[in-house]
Amino acid sequence: MFTKPFHYNLLYLLLLVAALLLPFYVPDAYIFQIVIMSFLFAIATSSMNLIIGFAGQASLAHGAFFGIGAYGVAIMTKAGLSFWLALPLAALISAGIGAVIGIPSLRTRGHYFAIVTLCFGVILWIVAGNWIQLTGGHNGIFGIPLPSSIPIPFLGEIDFYSQTAQYYLALTFLLLTLFVLHRLIYSMFGLTFMAMRNNEPLADAVGIDPFTTKLMAFVIANFIAGMAGGIYASIIGAVSPSAASHLMTFNFLIYVILGGIATLSGSVIGAFAIPIIMELLQFLGDYRMLIFGALLVVVIIYFPQGFVGGLRQLNQKVVAWRQPKQTEGANVSR
């Protein structure tokens, strides 16, 4: 029912091969680190797109749940717990707090829900900066261990001391996230998200529980955001309140808007392209923000569905242009 054309599958395969070979073509360690961070931001952005793009709920606390996962892994691994146990626990804590926040806040609608979640994000940022005994205050937590080695029978073990190993770790989690979200979104359960987004009263009338559906989307998105934050803390080796700030939330939101709302590929494109573009424009100093702002305005006005939406519009125009040509050719042959 949701099978994509062959050329789409071929494109995805080529992109996967390019991603697997990318470490061999990025000689600059600094740019390589940005690519790794972009993959982790793509995981968080994809989960934000789940609740904003597919469920239609404007959550502005995503950076807070990213930070909860980061602090959770930092505290637990510093206490001696294995990364592979700390990561799912931190993600579950993020999802659990999301459920506690979501139960009252999802009773509101529209911009009220956005305001409530934004307030929670600001409160969490303040707590992270002042609870010195737990979070280290504004100095943060340093010396976070790298992900634990993975033993492979008869082959030794995989460690994550090198950037290349960290890259493949981030890529693996990104591919896993995209696979899970794709299976979720295009399942009957995921279709209820889009039905509620498009027409909540009609969805309620046909038997879909709007509150439960929105809460499930919110909790799942926060679980994935917490997971991304946990990997981020372990690879960076430090975490500070900036990882849980509202600025992180707005970064994710910009990635979603520019990449393409309600598209999985758009989340990846936005999170991958924007940080790299901003770094390449560093030589412009403060003027790069002017260029970035102009790009944001152009995309919002002319391509409201982001880069992916723009490519789809271009593809539709090409198809519409080719069809009359094919029709004329068929008439001439007759």
Contact 242, 83 (CB under 8 A): no
pLDDT value at residue 81: 95
User: What CATH number did the domain enclosing 212 receive?
Assistant: 1.10.3470
Q: What does the radius of gyration of the chain's CA atoms come to, in whole angstroms?
A: 21
Phi, psi dihedral angles at 321 (to 5 degrees): -75, -35
161 found inside a domain: yes
289 found inside a domain: yes
Percentage of residues of the chain with pLDDT beyond 70: 94
210 found inside a domain: yes
On the question of pLDDT at 286 being above 80, the answer is no
- 3-class SS of residue 152: strand
On the question of pLDDT at 313 being above 70, the answer is yes
For the stretch 1-48, pLDDT in tens is 445 555 567 777 888 898 999 998 887 888 899 999 999 999 999 999
pLDDT value at residue 1: 46
Distance CA 333, CA 328 (A): 9
Least confident segment among 41-55, 107-121, 140-154, 277-291: 277-291
pLDDT value at residue 6: 52
- Reported confidence tier of residue 101, pLDDT bands at 50, 70, 90: very high
pLDDT value at residue 164: 93
Structural domains counted in the chain: 1
On the question of pLDDT at 318 being above 60, the answer is yes
- Reported confidence tier of residue 281, pLDDT bands at 50, 70, 90: confident
CB atoms under 10 Å from CB of 292, counted, come to 17
DSSP tally for the chain: helices H, then strands E: 14, 4
Least confident segment among 44-53, 98-107, 194-203, 278-287: 278-287
Largest Cα–Cα distance in the chain? 83
165 found inside a domain: yes
Cα dihedral 180, 186, 189, 190 in deg (nearest 10):
80
On the question of pLDDT at 53 being above 80, the answer is yes
37 found inside a domain: yes
Average pLDDT, whole number, for the chain? 88
Structural domain including 277 reads 29-302
Mean pLDDT of 146-153: 88
Mean pLDDT of 75-81: 95
317 found inside a domain: no
9 found inside a domain: no
Mean pLDDT of 161-169: 94
Contact 68, 93 (CB under 8 A): yes
Mean pLDDT of 164-179: 95
For the stretch 58-74, pLDDT in tens is 899 999 999 999 999 99
Distance CA 209, CA 218 (A): 14
Q: 271: closest CA among 86, 92, 111, 47?
A: 47
311 found inside a domain: no
To the nearest 5 percent, what fractions of the chain are helix, strand and coil? Answer: 80, 5, 20
